[in-house]
Structure 1
Amino acid sequence: MSGTRHFTVDEANRLIPFLRQELLRLKALVRSAQETYRELEVIKAVGADESGRLVMLADYKDARRRLRALGDEAGALVEGIHRRGCELKDVELGLVDFPALLDGREVLLCWRMDEDEVRHYHDPAAGYAGRKPLPPAPGSEPSRGG
């Protein structure tokens, strides 16, 4: 993570309202994309939509166009999250990591969308399964590092 921006807990917490909003939008896009993909699969399999109506080539092309547009919009949201230095790990969980320093070593602050604030961290190699509570000692708070 050398050359990476390092977050303090406060800096990460200030991003939570933005992240929560973007993750809600991203989840909605994923649901729409899944529905559109299922629609395409039905059209390809039987040449009709779920109601049995025969589908024209224009309908198929329209569904493909909508799916591409949803993917582009989702990609832009993810890019916006990454540009802020955050690492989106799981859309469904709303899992985001923030590079940080803890007692001079590189860690990832770990936040889930159902949490009010950042309270956990893990070593980069450990991943979500290695989540630990942040230590309470003021001298141990992750700080901006270089």
Structure 2
Amino acid sequence: MPAQAPTKKFFSLEEAVALLPFVRATFAEAHKAMLPLRDEVILYKRLQQSREEEALDYDDPDLVAINQILEEKISAYEDLFRLWIGKLTDKGIQVKQFEKGLIDFPYRSADTGEEYLLCWHLKDDGLFYFHGPNEGFAGRKPITLLPE
């Protein structure tokens, strides 16, 4: 029997608002955990570039060591990234731009059956905007216009 696609979760406005403390805390913890590692990746990329310019060949022991450390740091960062994204997506939340804290909660109008996305940004104090599935952040509208 073929695997079934996961059922898309839809949120009521109340459910989405109730999840905001969890979402905000998740982003805070994730950024705190990931920032030092991201900075190390940037540092090692700069070291790699600098060493590549100085090295006569790619077998240079210092360059090989830097490349190995860089690969390990990138792998660890990607693992952390997947872990934190999973904490949100496991609840049905759509992560649009993780670094900026931009997410959407899928919503379906009970009146029309149309789908919308309740849009939240880390800088938002609450859930104030929504947009259509193909409109994106630039197409945000005030939540007061959301069809019930």
TM-score by length of 2: 0.74
Any idea what the Cα deviations from partners look like across 1:89-134, whole Å, max 9, x if unmatched?
A: 1123311101002342110011111222212110101111111112
Higher relative contact order (CA 8 A, sep 6+): 1
Task: State the AA in 2 paired with 1:66.
Answer: K
**Equivalent in 90, 97, 116 of residue 104 of structure 2:** 97
What residue in structure 2 maps to residue 22 of structure 1?
26
The Cα of 1:65 is off from its aligned counterpart by 1.5
CA distance in 1, matches of 2:32, 2:91: 21
Compute the displacement of 1:30 (Å).
Answer: 5.0
**Given the superposition, is the C-alpha separation of residues 32 and 125 from structure 1 closer, same or farther in structure 2, using an over 3 Å criterion?**
same
**TM-score, normalization: structure 1?**
0.74
1:8 and 1:100 in contact (8 A); partners too: yes
Change (3 A) 1:101 1:43: same
Q: 2:135 is matched with which residue: 112, 119, 126?
A: 126
Query: Are positions 1:40 and 2:50 aligned together?
Result: no
CA drift of 1:56 comes to 7.5
Q: Which amino acid aligns with 2:108?
A: L
Aligned partner of 2:15 in structure 1 is 11
Cα distance per residue 1:49-95 (max 9 Å; x no partner): xxxxx957545533432331121011111022111000111123311
Compute the RMSD of aligned alpha carbons: 2.7
For 1:10 and 1:47, how far apart are their aligned partners in 2?
54
Q: Does residue 117 of structure 1 match 2:123?
A: no
Rounded Cα–Cα distance in structure 1 between residues aligned with 2:137 and 2:50? 42
Does structure 2 retain, via aligned residues, the 8 Å contact 1:89–1:96?
Answer: yes
Per-residue deviation at 1:29?
A: 4.9
The equivalent residue for 1:65 is 72
5+ long unaligned stretches in structure 1: 49-53, 142-146
Deviates more, 1:10-19 or 1:58-67: 58-67
How many pairs were matched up?
A: 132
Q: Contact 1:29–1:70 (CA<8 Å) still a contact in 2?
A: no
Percent identity over paired residues: 26
